[in-house]
Structure 1
Amino acid sequence: MSEEPGGQEPAASVPSEEELRRITAYIYRWTGMIFGESKRYYIERRLAHRIAKTNMPDVRAYLALLAGSAVEREQLVNAFTVNETYFYREEHQFAALSAQILPQVIANKRPGDLVRIWSMPCSTGDEAYSIAIWLLENWPLVDAYNVEIVGSDVDTAAIEQAKAGRYAPRALARLPATVIASYFEAERNHRRKIIDDLRESVRFVPANLFDRSTLPSLGKFDIILCRNMLIYFDDESRRIAADNLFDCLHPGGFLLLGHSESMARITDRFTMVRLDDAIVYRRP
């Protein structure tokens, strides 16, 4: 989860029921994410943070600002985004990627051809860099193909953190010491930075899976990792996301979801594939 904004919440920032409804409706319209009554404290904290940052006197004034400012809409979305991630999360899927998925992807390609992998949402870059590291360590053919890894997220602040490639020890806890030594440089306060060669090999761009207009410039992919995102959507949002994921895949391409997510109740457009290490979905 994202860190809580610091400081005390000002009394004027506590929204009425109608103001709360408007804020959550905006977030849903822009991102597809649902925030119900159980998340009230979470909503109020992040709303109070944005009100303080914009020097608005109360929620009513902030809503007026929000209605006319694309910049503030972006900042509000950033404030509500959940960024729980770390390196080698759900490692079994990376094992499936190198052992079973990529061999099928390259079956109809020649050495030197492009293999495109998309990490969405990429948050602060942990997953996208994990893909690059895993392939360098575990896929013998990594240098035989032109592998392009793209990370994208609706949270533009997280995208900037991903580009910087700096991480605290907690994010690296699952990485072997040899991997940390090979791909990270030591910095102050026990933090680490991705080495330049690796950082420059992964491209990060903002994109919103719920907004089709942000996706065409990304092109199509052979493999998409969209893990632990659909759990924040309602049924309608999931269908929109599923259709957009389908359209972003090449025919025969693979989609990897989080361990608690499934396409079975969302759409029948994908074919479920049972691998040794994971259940994945494929565009026919």
Structure 2
Amino acid sequence: MTGAARLTAEQLQRLSAFVYRQTGMLFGETKRYYIERRLAERYTATGIGDFASYLGHLRSDATERETLVNAFTINETYFYREEHQLACLSRALLPALIATRRPGDKIRIWSLPCSTGEEAYSIAIWLLENWRLVDAYNIEIIGSDIDTRALEAAREGLYGERALSRLPPRLRDCYFEPVRRHRRRIIRDLRESVSFAPANLVDAASMAVHGVFDVIFCRNVLIYFDDESRLLAAGTLYDRLAPGGFLCLGHTESMSRISPRFEICRFEDATVFQRPADA
């Protein structure tokens, strides 16, 4: 099958509801072409040619569910995206956190969703370049995403020119090795210093297995959620933050409109949200 799979309004609603339950992301009539194209790809891959048969297959096959979710996720990112938050991390958030720590203590940072790894690796590069105490503490950086294909790409660490376009040439030369025309791989030391594992913002159990973090970057995903999913995600993020920990959202997102549990912290470089130290 080529082109798009044509869906009735009722079929579109059923598939959108399934994706919503799995991811918290809202798709509907305005995304019809996007949905039908993705579904046609799965029809071709599975050899199933009608909606009812595919939906039955989807419900009985965990691998196909994972593959469909991967097909619907949006991976739009690049290195040093929203750089002002990285500046806030080194200038304000980490100094606040180490005020009650000793050298050698662990500091855990979570990039969620991490897409193909650019954000998680950006955090590592930024700290190496801009935080003079980076070697004095045990910094653990984890990237997570619902898209298992994106996680595989993150572990591989292979990037094109667009992903690297915001990095100064010196950093590209220092932290990336040319592997073929217009492609570079992040150096082994950095690939081994950042770990990647799956997590789903609207699945508390998949979040809980990763423990608690001092800083969570969760940027530009809540804009795809409805109010119910945002509130659920806010609860899981709150639970995954250590008391006194910080949450960084995208520049168009605000936790104050979702949950009253977080405190607003306005720093010179960015506004972030904090789990109260006594909560």
Same fold by TM-score greater than 0.5: yes
Query: Aligned partner of 1:171: which letter?
Result: A
Confirm or deny that 1:198 pairs with 2:190.
yes
Aligned partner of 2:2 among 4, 8, 11: 8
Corresponding residue for 1:108?
A: 100
Aligned partner of 1:78 among 62, 65, 70: 70
Aligned partner of 1:157 among 149, 158, 169: 149
Corresponding residue for 1:3?
A: none
The secondary structure found in structure 2 opposite 1:264 is: helix
Does the 8 A contact of 2:12 with 2:29 survive in 1? no
Aligned partner of 1:256 among 248, 256, 261: 248
Instruction: Measure the CA separation in 2 of the matches of 1:190 and 1:267.
Output: 44
Does the 8 A contact of 1:87 with 1:126 survive in 2? yes
Residue ranges of structure 1 left out of the alignment (5+ in a row): 1-6
Corresponding residue for 2:167?
A: 175
Corresponding residue for 1:49?
A: 41
Normalised by the length of structure 1, the TM-score is 0.96
Instruction: Measure the CA separation in 2 of the matches of 1:152 and 1:78.
Output: 13
Confirm or deny that 1:87 pairs with 2:79.
yes
Query: Aligned partner of 2:82: which letter?
Result: E
Confirm or deny that 1:271 pairs with 2:263.
yes
Instruction: Measure the CA separation in 1 of the matches of 2:208 and 2:226.
Output: 24
Instruction: Measure the CA separation in 2 of the matches of 1:211 and 1:27.
Output: 13
Does the 8 A contact of 2:12 with 2:28 survive in 1? no
Query: Aligned partner of 2:3: which letter?
Result: E
**Paired-residue identity, %:** 61
Does the 8 A contact of 1:222 with 1:249 survive in 2? yes
The secondary structure found in structure 2 opposite 1:209 is: coil
Q: 1:217-252: per-residue Cα shift (whole Å, max 9, x none)?
A: 101000000000100000000000000000000000
Does the 8 A contact of 1:27 with 1:33 survive in 2? yes
Aligned partner of 2:238 among 246, 251, 268: 246
Structure 1 residue 36: Cα displacement: 2.1
Does the 8 A contact of 1:14 with 1:59 survive in 2? no
Q: 1:159-198: per-residue Cα shift (whole Å, max 9, x none)?
A: 0000000001100000000101110000112100010000
Normalised by the length of structure 2, the TM-score is 0.97
Tell me the number of residue pairs that the alignment of Structure 1 and Structure 2 aligns: 276
Residue ranges of structure 2 left out of the alignment (5+ in a row): none
Aligned partner of 1:231 among 223, 235, 245: 223
Confirm or deny that 1:189 pairs with 2:174.
no
Structure 1 residue 8: Cα displacement: 3.4
Corresponding residue for 1:210?
A: 202
